[in-house]
Each structure stands twice: as C-alpha cells, then as structure tokens.
Chains A and B, each alone.
Chain A
Amino acid sequence: MVAMSDRSLFDGTGPGTDGDEMFAADGGLRPTYAPLHDALVQLGEEEFRSRSESLARSYLDQGVTFDYAGEERPFPIDAIPRLIAAEEWAEVSEGIAQRVRALEAFLEDLYTDSRAVADGVIPRELVDSSTYIVDAMRGYVPPNGVRLHIAGIDLVRDGSGGFRVLEDNVRTPSGVSYVLSNRRAMVQTFPELFAHRPVRSVGEYPGRLLAALRAASPDVGGDEPTVVVLTPGRYNSAYFEHSLLARTMGVELVEASDLVERNNRVYMRTTAGLRRVDVIYKRTDDDFIDPEVFRPDSMLGVPGLVRAVLAGNVVVANGIGNGIADDKLTYTYVPDLVRYYLHEEPILRNVDTWRLEEPEAREEVLDRLAELVVKPVDGSGGKGIVIGPAASRDELDELRRRLQADPRGWIAQPVVQLSTIPTLVEDGLRPRHVDLRPFALNSGEDVWVLPGGLTRVALPEGEMIVNSSRGGGSKDTWVLAGTRPSRVEVPTSAGTVRVVEEDAADAPLETGVDESFVADAAEREPDRALEPMPITAAIPMLDADDLAEEHEDRTDDGRTTEEAHDAQ
C-alpha cells in the first residue's frame, strides 16, 4: 500500500528523454539525482504535496513577490531542486568568469581606445548603430577600473547535454534574491533532502557583493565608503530584490528623489541633513538615471549624477553605458572577444546565431523563419521574441516585414530544446523546461561566481520561455560539493593549456545557518584578540564588602532573625 503511493510521486514523469536532467531516455535515473530521487520517494506523494503547499504559503507570508501587470504576486517556487555535479560546476564557473573578464575588457576598450574596432574584431557599424553607447562616458575610467561589477549569464542545456550561453546580462541582472530566498525556504521546508549530499552554500553573496561595491569606491581618505542601492521604487517588478539586497548588505535603499547632486558630489537626504554617497548600486535603467544626460523631459533620475561620476566623486555599478555589452548582436561576437582579449578558447559556447544584418544569413533566416527563434537585439524579459514553430502565418509575415525593415535590430537562433526537470503541476510531477542564470561578481581583483544560480522553469506544458513575466517559476539550484579538487583545462591561443585547479573542500556548505554572519564573526576574531581585557572582568559586579553588609542587614530584619537571636 505504502509502496504504491510512493511510486506514484514520479509516475507522470515518463521514461525521460535525452533532455531530461533526472531521467535518462531509457528510464534510468541519472547518478547525480539518485540520492535526491530516493529521498523524495521516501517522503511520499501526500507529504511532498503538503510541504510544497507550505513552501508556497511561506512565500506569500514573507512577501517574496514580483510585480506583474501592476499586481503583486508570489514568485512560484517548485520544490524539486536542480542539481549540478561538482565537476560540471567547476567548468561552468570558470566559463562564466572567463566570459565576464572578456566583457569587462570589451567595455574598457570600447570606452577608451576602441582597439577591437580598429583591429577589425568588432565591426564599426555595430558600435555606431547601437543605442546603448553612452557618449558622455567615453574616456571615463572608474577608480578600480571595473565597469561590470555584477553579471548574470543565461545558460541552457542543449540536446547534447552541455551548457550553452543564451544571453548575457550586464546592466541590471536580476533574480539573485530568489536564489537566496529559495534556499532559505527549501532548508526550512525540506531539511532532510539536504542530508544526503553536501550542497554548497549561497549565503556568501550579500557579503561578497558589498565587498565588490566597496572595492569600486573612489578614494574616501580612509573612511568606510557609503554604499547605497538605487531602486526605481516599490512598484518596480524587482523591488523585492532591491529591498532584500539592501537589507542583507545593511545599506540604505534609496530612490532617485532621495539623492541630490551638489558641487559634483552626490548626497542622500537624511533626517540629519545631507550625507555623502560613494558607491551607487544602480537598479534602474540608464535612461532614467540623469535627465541632464539622458532625457531632459524626464522627471525621474538624479540631475547631475553623471557629472559627479565623471568628476570621480561617486561610482555607479554596473557602469553607465554597459548596455552595448549585452546587446544581442554583441553576443554573437563574444567568443571572438574571449580569444582577442584573453588569448584563450571560450569554455562556454554560444547558441548558434544568425546576424540578420549579414545578407547571406538574412536570406537563410527569411527562408526558414517558421523553424527559428527570432529575437530583438535590445529586448529583455522575453519581450518581442517570436518562436517560429509556434507562430501563425500572419505573425510570420508581419515579422518578415519588420526584419527586412530593420535587420540590425534582430538575431535568429535555432529552437533550442531546453532541458527538462520534473516539476509539480496540478496533475503531479511532469517534465518542464528550465534554464540557468549564474551570477558573477567582479571586485577588480578577481571574478567570483556564486555556486548556484537561478533556475527558471516554464510552468505551462511545452513552453520554452521561462521569464516570470510569462508565468515562469523557479527552482532552488544545488551545486554539489566535490569529493576531490576540481580541474579545468583552458586552451590558450599560444597552444598551451591554462589549468585551473580549485579545492572547494573549504567552501561553505549549506547548514541552514546564515553564512554571512558566521563569516563575519570569523573575520572579527583577530581584532578581538587585540582588544584589551573587558573591563567587567576587572571590576566585580558586586563589592565583597557590600555583600557582607547585605548579609548583616538580612539577619537584622529577615527571616533568619530568630536563628540569629538564638545564636546570641
């Protein structure tokens, strides 16, 4: 009886396909997932469902929401986590770091010498035709040289099982708050699932982010730099995230109207008057950051902010004008940028892409429109994407006209068969498509990749677009801790191989405790040794003489009086 209900948990997932991450096509369980699968089966379907409900309930209570069409909705979290083995993660992590370094070098080059254009690696037209280049930032060099502090790189697993890069996000990559809150919710709701294999902790992120932002600060003469998070406000779809990041870093969350520029410096309005701001973690679009530079008609933004940046008195992260680096047309050149700037072969491959501005490619794409995915180069959040096989004839005709009118505005890709993972829907567990967005932080010293990332899942059957604005949900992403040091080999253009060895044995594991506090305490330990002995140890709480007197008083009036008299 028990066995029957147990087996039914995974009944609806079928034998699996090449693209399923848990079940192989022959129905066998993939080894990475075996312990998790067994633990879930042990739990039983009824228990699994009821815990899934409390998972959803906890998100509503905590206000883990995003704004959709003006309405605040809880972000759907699915209880089956996505697992990534240690060896594979080592490769992904190194690949992300490599890509971020190349994009950073590209941004630096573009806003200073434009060597890549002069050397013909990037066509001049790409740069000239981009609406994302911000002329005001040309020649600007940030204090620690970093323009790309926070990156989110979207990956998908293709039919052959390897990860490929779908797009780069180097302006305001969002979603890391769900990585943090998904983990917290999973640890609370499904503690026993973590018992089978060590999972790497994601709790370091806020501390690492704050360190990267502080490292970017202008020289403040030995003071601690003041960092703020700049949000468009509580009606922004990612407001929950802005608030969580500010709270976990312990910094102010400001709106543009809280900031003011005076004498090329930026201040925030506080109850004690104006207070200088050194680093702004910008979560607004460039267009709305400074009406002096971008939209003179706009009431939004901080007039004079860009002047203060150029004067070197404040740093904005990510850099203003980064949009050129995640333009989808630039994306097609990133493998070349890796070779050009880093003299290495790209570790992570792009999805095959046609540039519509190239006549031959355009011809092929227009011929095969019904089988391809076409994306606007400046879109985000799944906006404007047309999936050929799912589009009507009229939609395709309309698309054809638009492509011919503005070929620079579009790229095309084959339909990537995203991998699937069993996901709880109304009928039970069913395979649903997922992608993965790892996050990287660049402190200028090194690029750190958060072990985990946002796994987004498309909840409708067959749906390939995973964005929350299209009804997507998310899964907790578990990077499993390795049992031995990892080793990644990166071929260089000199014909040699760069070997990256990492021993993650000391990396923090998920324990259910907030790691950032533990790390903080450990850091403070040496300081504490330098402090003088606490004064309370030298001065007793009570004086011994006082105690004696107290005792005498007692014998005068207290209950022991009679005894005392007797003794006398």
Chain B
Amino acid sequence: MLSRIADAMFWIGRYVERADQTARVLDVRLQSITEDVSGDVAPACAAVHEIFGSPAPEGAEQSVQKVLDRLVTDRSNPSSIAGSLQTARENARGAREVLSTEVWESLNTTTLGMPRGVRPARMHSVFQYAKDRCAVVNGLVDGSMTRDEAWLFWRLGQLVERVDMGARILQAHDLEDSSDQATVLLLRTCSAHEAYIRSYRGRVDASAAISFLLLDSIFPRSAAHCLLEIDEALEVLARMHGAGPDRLGTADPGRRIVGRAVASLRYRSLEELTSDFDAEMEQLQQVTGAVTRTLGSTYFHPAH
C-alpha cells in the first residue's frame, strides 16, 4: 500500500486511542477532584495536566473548567479529546479509499458531534460520548476491515498509544502513597480496576496493582500484553513484505526494540523496576517513540 496511507492509518489508530484514553483518564481524575471537597483543586489539576505532558496554562488559577477547555474541547490541541478526534478524522479523509465507509462515517459523525464547550456539571456525559463513539469506531474497524496492512498499521498505532499513555499515567503516580484510595484511583484511571479486582479477588495492594498494569499477560491494557501484540503485528507485517526466515525477529529493528522492552519488564523483579520508577516509565515512553520511528524508516518514508 502507499506509504503515505500506511502512515495515516497508524496515526488514525493512535489518535482514536488517545481520544478514548484521555476521556477515560479525565472522567476518573476530574470526578475525584470534584468529589474531594477538602482537597486543593489547583495542584490536583496541575497533576492532570502532567499526565498529558502539556504544562498547565500559566498565570491563571487552575480549575476543572480550565482542564476541560484545554484537554477536552480545544480543537487546536492534538492532545485534547476533540483535537485527537479532529486529527484522526483529517487523516481518515486522506485515507478514505482504504477505510470502510462505515468506519469513515462513524469517525466523521463522532468528530462533528463533539461539543464546542463543556461545563463541569455535564462533563461525564461528554466523556461517555467520546468513549462510546471510540468503541463504535474500533468495533467497526474490527468487524468490517480485512486484516491487511492497513488494519495492521491502525492496530499498531492503537497499541503504541496505549503503551505510551499507560506509561504516562504510571509515571505521574506517586509510589510513596500506597493507600488503598490512591491505588484504586490509579487502577480506575487505567480502566483496570474491575479487571484487577477479579484477578486478585478484591485484595487491593499497591505493588500488585503496578505489576498488574505492567505485566499481566491477559489484561489488554497492560504494557507487556500490548508490547507482545506489537511484536506479533510487526512480524505479520514483515512476512507480508517477504521477509525471509528471521532469528526470532532480530533483523527487524522495530521487533528488536519491542523485544528488549518486553524482556526487561518480564525478567526483572518488581523491586528493581520500581527502584527508579520515573526513569523506567520514561524509557517505556521512549520505546514507543523508537517503534514509531522505525515504522517510519521501514514503511512510511523509506529511502528509495
């Protein structure tokens, strides 16, 4: 397929996932800020901005409304929900001929349906809208598109973004605070609370939660699970492009990066991983960046 279209598909996958994840994170975080009448709003809002790597707007007093303006409805910010959807839709407009009509129309109506502004009292319904619509888009991709290259690039974008966002959320988490409340908030932010409770039969434990989010092999949002899926998708892609027998993927630069990251997570003790947690999570984000770059040099902008 055209390199430009492959590139577009990857980013559509990433941006739809980003919109979905942002809605999930904000839904939990902003609700907890609103509920906590004793807490100080400003630092809590700054912490939310930190997750998304976008510095809180300076000067003004921090408020939930300001977070909503910046991270939900600001179409010029590609990290906001509306902005992510807008960017996904613009990319999709350039890739119409490989998307099924249903996927395009769904993405189009989702983007057009995002409100221009939202008040804290109504925010949950907007998050719900974004999550529902992203699920519809992903469902249509799942149910109406052939598992060809186009789909693989979409899927890679989705997985890479998921790992990246997960690492950001973990990085912003305060390891020192091992209270049940903080742990549950972390799990809920990662949409992992219910899955965790079922796996651990209700026992909330800070380090078990971290290990679940990083290493659970069957939870679809854990870092290790996503990385293994990325590896598998890269392998299928390489075979499609006629790669010969490969020593466990070591010839493919993308697979080498992903493989190292998985091994590093898998074969080290949790104590070791959390001894400099901030640096580890920083590296995990760099892994997603490196995978994106190798996709670029292998498929999107190869030198001819």
Contacts and interface: CB of A to CB of B under 8 A. Distances in A.
A272 B6 CA distance: 11
Interface residues of B, number: 25
Interface centre among B2, B3, B241, B300 (most CB of A within 10 A): B2
Given A60-B112, A247-B97, A273-B304, A255 B105 contact: no
A50 interface: no
A271 B3 contact: yes
Given A63-B93, A243-B97, A246-B97, A271 B1 contact: yes
Question: Looking at chain B's contact residues, is the secondary structure mostly helix, strand, loop, or mixed?
Answer: helix
Interface string A210-254: 000000000000000000000001100001000110110001111
Nearest to B111: A63
B97 A252 contact: yes
B105 A62 contact: yes
Interface in B284-304: 299-300, 302, 304
B108 A62 contact: yes
Interface residues of A, number: 26
A303 to B, nearest CB: 14
Interface of A is mostly: mixed
B2 A272 contact: no
A260 interface: yes
Most interface-central of B5, B90, B149 (chain A CB within 10 A): B5
A377 B94 CA distance: 34
B304 A274 contact: yes
Given A273-B302, A273-B304, A268 B94 contact: no
A10 B21 CA distance: 53
Contact of A253 (B3, B97, B242): B97
B109 interface: yes
B196 interface: no
B104 interface: yes
A257 B2 CA distance: 11
B96 A243 contact: yes
B266 interface: no
Interface string A57-87: 0001111000000000000000000000000
A375 B93 CA distance: 35
Given A234-B94, A247-B97, A271-B241, A255 B4 contact: yes
Given A243-B96, A270-B1, A272-B240, 6 more contacts: A234-B94, A251-B97, A255-B4, A257-B4, A258-B2, A260-B304
Interface of B: 1-6, 90, 93-94, 96-97, 101, 104-105, 108-109, 112, 149, 240-242, 299-300, 302, 304
29 contacts: A61-B105, A61-B108, A61-B109, A61-B112, A62-B101, A62-B108, A63-B105, A63-B108, A243-B93, A243-B96, A247-B97, A252-B2, A257-B4, A258-B3, A260-B304, A268-B2, A269-B3, A269-B4, A269-B304, A270-B3, A271-B1, A271-B6, A271-B149, A271-B241, A271-B299, A272-B241, A272-B242, A273-B302, A274-B304
